[in-house]
Structure 1
Amino acid sequence: MAEFWRSTALPDLEARRSCQQNSCYRPHAHDSFSIGAIDSGTSVLTGPLDGRMRLEPGDVIIIPAGQVHACNPDQGRWLYQMIHMDQAWVTSLAPGGEASRLFDGIRVLRHPELHSMVSAINDMIFTDEPREPLQAQFAVLFTELEAAAPAHLATSYADPELLTRLASVMYRLRTDQSNPALTELAESIGMSKFQLIRAMRRVTGLSPLAWRQNARVVMARRLLREGRSIAETAHALGFTDQSHFHRVFRAHVAASPGSYRG
């Protein structure tokens, strides 16, 4: 079961409350800055970490845009909250702006007061509080999050030169509905297929095909938030049929397109 709510006061602000019993998330990344809070049960966080890390009730997780991760229940049911927001907006409020430590990588914080603050702001989103008090609370939260010592910090570094070289490939993976062959993509930038796979993993954390699926799901979320129908969204993104779209979307979002669209 999942519940989503979008703020009418602040653009691109989305909240979630969820209860999961089965492992259902593939490694994925968001195009937004995300804050998570574990309410009950335990789960395992994987991604650009040195191994796996168990998350406990009361933990707060900070995930900058583009950071590959997956979080799934450890044993039985778990309850969690998520808040997704535009990273440029976060930058405008965060101490230090672009230099804020909030963007260094995935941070796990174990401070009970931070969990309470995240829960309170999530309540404000679900009750659709006005812009001014909501933004003021976020500014306070960002200051406290940056000041808190993390229990775990997974930093990431993307080679800018390699990212530039891969730009045309990533554009085609994101936009070409014909599902271009890896060999063709690799040859277009002077690489072998296996060099391309290694390079994509190095700069994104995902294989080319996994990155393509993630990019399509990111766009699907945008279209569904705009009110597009499920059939229209699936067709626009080149899925062969709605059942295929449904499977891919659920594997990344842990919710059906219908549940997410609301």
Structure 2
Amino acid sequence: MTEFWRSTSVPGLEARRSCQERPCYRPHAHDAFSIGVIEEGTSVLTGQLDGPIGLEVGDVVVIPSGCVHACNPGEGRWLYQMTHLDQGWAASLAPRREAAHLFTGIRVLRQPGLRHRVGALNDAIFGEEGRDPPLERRVAALFREFAAASPVHLVAVATDPELLALLRPVLHRLRFEESNPALAELAESVGLSTYQLIRAMRRATGLPPLAWRQNARVVTARRLLREGRPIAETAHALGFTDQSHFHRVFRAHVAASPGVYRG
């Protein structure tokens, strides 16, 4: 069971409720600031981490845009909620100095009562704007609590501007070329060996080249589907060989089919 809802008044604000019983996500990153909360069961968080992190009921996970992660169920039924927000909008509501660190890494918060306030935000999105206080005030209040809370796990994700600048032509080709570019050709174009390119991509983005390409295509697919584009048209626009291939890749990143996501 998975359901999505988007705010009609705040662009980029999306809520999700989902129940899973088996591994459903491959490592991925969002183009949004994401807040997750575990409602039932246990799960394991992996990604740009030193090792897996076990999550339990009530845990709140704060994930800035671009941070690679995957969260999959432990044993049995896993019920969770996610809220995705435009990161620029989120940053404008956060207390400037105190909350700057919230946008530099993944944080796991185990704070009494925080679970219910994150759930209340999701309820407000699903119930739309008839509730008081408005969504902006709810988000701003949450960010004040996030900034004051001490995380039980903190994964700082450093960026390397020089490495990203070197890889910019590679990222452009991976994002926009219709077919998968050859790794040896990509590496040669920036003066690296294939092995060096894979290492550089992992260091700079958290993903190897072709996994980064798939993630970028799914991020674009989500935007197009939210805009109401047909599934077949979206798959074709992004260079997928057929709809079944698109469905497999999309589901591995979103744990839902394109049809369920589009609504």
TM bracket (short chain):
over 0.9
Deviation at 1:100, TM superposition (A): 1.2
Q: Is 1:164 aligned to 2:174, yes or no? A: no
CA distance, structure 1, for counterparts of residue 245 and residue 140 of structure 2: 40
Cα distance change on mapping 1:99 and 1:78 into 2, 3 Å: closer
Provide the residue aligned with 2:184 in structure 1.
Answer: 183
Provide the residue aligned with 2:11 in structure 1.
Answer: 11
Deviation at 1:104, TM superposition (A): 2.3
Deviation at 1:202, TM superposition (A): 0.4
CA distance, structure 2, for counterparts of residue 178 and residue 257 of structure 1: 21
Query: Which stretch shows the higher mean deviation, 72-81 or 175-184?
Result: 175-184
CA distance, structure 2, for counterparts of residue 94 and residue 213 of structure 1: 31
Secondary structure of the corresponding residue to residue 118 of structure 1: helix
User: Contact 2:21–2:78 at 8 Å: present in 1 too?
Assistant: yes
Provide the residue aligned with 2:112 in structure 1.
Answer: 112
Provide the residue aligned with 1:255 in structure 2.
Answer: 256
CA distance, structure 2, for counterparts of residue 249 and residue 144 of structure 1: 33
CA distance, structure 2, for counterparts of residue 112 and residue 229 of structure 1: 43
Provide the residue aligned with 1:26 in structure 2.
Answer: 26
One-letter identity of the residue aligned with 1:184: E
Provide the residue aligned with 1:86 in structure 2.
Answer: 86
CA distance, structure 2, for counterparts of residue 197 and residue 183 of structure 1: 10
Deviation at 1:99, TM superposition (A): 6.2
How much is the aligned-residue C-alpha RMSD, in angstroms? Answer: 1.3
Secondary structure of the corresponding residue to residue 128 of structure 2: coil
One-letter identity of the residue aligned with 1:13: L
One-letter identity of the residue aligned with 1:228: R
Secondary structure of the corresponding residue to residue 23 of structure 1: coil
Provide the residue aligned with 1:75 in structure 2.
Answer: 75
Provide the residue aligned with 1:37 in structure 2.
Answer: 37
Secondary structure of the corresponding residue to residue 224 of structure 1: helix
One-letter identity of the residue aligned with 1:11: P
Secondary structure of the corresponding residue to residue 61 of structure 1: strand
Can you give the 5+ residue segments of structure 1 that lack an aligned partner in the other structure?
none
Secondary structure of the corresponding residue to residue 134 of structure 2: helix
Can you give the 5+ residue segments of structure 2 that lack an aligned partner in the other structure?
none
Deviation at 1:22, TM superposition (A): 1.0
User: Contact 1:9–1:130 at 8 Å: present in 2 too?
Assistant: no
Structure 1 segments, 4+ long, off by >2 Å, are none
Q: Is 1:128 aligned to 2:128, yes or no? A: yes
The 5-angstrom pairing of residues 202-221 of structure 1 reads 202-221=203-222
